[in-house]
Structure 1
């Protein structure tokens, strides 16, 4: 919204339009430390520049200063970063990592029934189907990417910089045929046991992901 206001001020062709924009957003402009009564059409460039600087810099200035001071208390680290910013970028800038099956598999755990129970074999078959599907998503054999699966499962299309706060989970239900369900609040993927082969499982997963619009809300 802030950028739109700034752009609208710049595009104001006359006093009437300029005053209309200022009056409409007067409360927000005051919050930025600017008095609407002091704004004039002939100074619209300066007004827009001030608002943009406030959006991008001034409102975070205290936090930035505190962060810089903290870095410099550790061997003048901020000054070292300024000398070689590229060497330090990976510490401060999130680098999105392309998901691969091997790394995706480390993100989740499976909640199996006790060993020897009647459901255990069906659950193992279902996990096998899941992992066949994930391997296909890792390659070019599916129009669903691992990022789509992660979005459906967690609501996030990539792993957060600090990782998830817990393992993703796989749960099972034994019910009549229905699509997989993702509970993004708990990051739980609920699968139906008893499907005959990986193709049926893949069909249901693709439907669930595509029909959900990206991820299923709790």
Structure 2
């Protein structure tokens, strides 16, 4: 029992520095989000903000295609959130990072979107938190490819 209580008292003493523990006792609801992690529900906006697109130089033909596909990606996130097709934003996060939810600390490395011309389906590198989006001619083809690619990814058996 002493193995547990001793560190707890030391932690409490540390929190008492600069009256932090006193403030914590008086206003627990204010400190709750900072002291107790609670996973927030994913939205299209949250998933969009997680990923940093790696675009070609401005003015290049690749950049034009990448921006078009980036628009497809944003539409896809919205459709997944609103549609009951069996795909979820959690599926996309799992595909890209191997995680079911966003951790309390930020994702390292920051998730990225890259683009590949000669691919039919998306690919993911969970070690690098990267999704390689296929450059496809229409949103409908893109959506179908994304759904198929994500649903048929090997995963980690965490579903």
TM-score tier, shorter chain, comes to 0.7 to 0.9
- Corresponding position of 2:110: 167
Q: How does 1:55-94 map to 2 (within 5 A)?
A: 60-75=4-19, 77-82=20-25, 84-94=27-37
Deviation at 1:84, TM superposition (A): 5.0
In the alignment, the residues of structure 2 paired with residue 174 and residue 192 of structure 1 have an alpha-carbon distance, to the nearest angstrom, of 6
Is the CA contact (8 Å cut-off) linking 2:96 and 2:124 kept in structure 1? yes
In the alignment, the residues of structure 1 paired with residue 100 and residue 4 of structure 2 have an alpha-carbon distance, to the nearest angstrom, of 28
Q: How does 1:70-149 map to 2 (within 5 A)?
A: 70-75=14-19, 77-82=20-25, 84-149=27-92
| CA RMSD, Structure 1 to Structure 2 (Å) | 2.4
Is the CA contact (8 Å cut-off) linking 2:109 and 2:128 kept in structure 1? no
SS at match of 1:73: helix
**Are residues 208 and 62 of structure 1, via their aligned partners in 2, closer, same or farther at CA, if it must alter by over 3 Å?**
farther
SS at match of 1:206: helix
Is the CA contact (8 Å cut-off) linking 1:209 and 1:215 kept in structure 2? no
**Are residues 123 and 60 of structure 1, via their aligned partners in 2, closer, same or farther at CA, if it must alter by over 3 Å?**
farther
- Are 2:147 and 1:206 equivalent residues in the alignment? yes
Deviation at 1:60, TM superposition (A): 4.6
Deviation at 1:109, TM superposition (A): 1.4
Aligned match for 1:180, one of 107, 122, 126: 122
In the alignment, the residues of structure 1 paired with residue 98 and residue 5 of structure 2 have an alpha-carbon distance, to the nearest angstrom, of 32
In the alignment, the residues of structure 1 paired with residue 6 and residue 94 of structure 2 have an alpha-carbon distance, to the nearest angstrom, of 35
In the alignment, the residues of structure 2 paired with residue 59 and residue 186 of structure 1 have an alpha-carbon distance, to the nearest angstrom, of 39
The number of residue pairs the alignment matches comes to 157
TM-score (norm 2): 0.83
Deviation at 1:186, TM superposition (A): 1.0
- Structure 1 residues not aligned, in runs of 5+: 1-53
Is the CA contact (8 Å cut-off) linking 2:55 and 2:66 kept in structure 1? yes
Larger Rg: 1
- Are 2:120 and 1:152 equivalent residues in the alignment? no
Structure ranking higher on relative contact order (CA contacts 8 Å, 6+ apart)? 2
Is the CA contact (8 Å cut-off) linking 1:182 and 1:215 kept in structure 2? no
**Are residues 74 and 213 of structure 1, via their aligned partners in 2, closer, same or farther at CA, if it must alter by over 3 Å?**
farther
- Structure 2 residues not aligned, in runs of 5+: none
